[in-house]
Amino acid sequence: MPPRFTPKVVTANALLDGDAVWLTEDDHWSPLMSRAELITDEAHADLRLLQAKARASEIAGAYLADARLGADGPEPVHFREAFRTRGPSNYPHGKQVETPPQT
């Protein structure tokens, strides 16, 4: 029996600055995971991932990441995605300065 599908978001890295971004329901890339489209259907998730990968002039490394619905929208399930929401870790800049961390 195949495993049950769990909610996902489409994520990638912005091509020009390398920042982690998430695909919104209206086809924009957001630096905030909380604005991402939370996908609960496996076929729709596969389609959205294919659409994202076709946008190679904007992003690199698109993939589906597990997520759950939080108080402000989608939030990470795994440490890797929680880490990506905080931005680069080498010194405070970008998301670390501009927005509070998502938990």
pLDDT (tens digit, 9 = 90+) per residue, 24-80? 999 999 999 999 999 999 999 999 999 999 999 999 999 999 999 999 999 999 999
CA–CA separation, 34 and 78 (whole Å): 15
Assign 99 a pLDDT band (cuts: 50, 70, 90). Answer: low
Task: Tell me: pLDDT of 103 over 80.
Answer: no
Domain regions of the chain by residue span: 8-98
CA–CA separation, 75 and 62 (whole Å): 17
Tokens 């939370």, residue? 38
Against a cut of 0.85, is the pTM above it? Answer: no
CA–CA separation, 61 and 70 (whole Å): 25
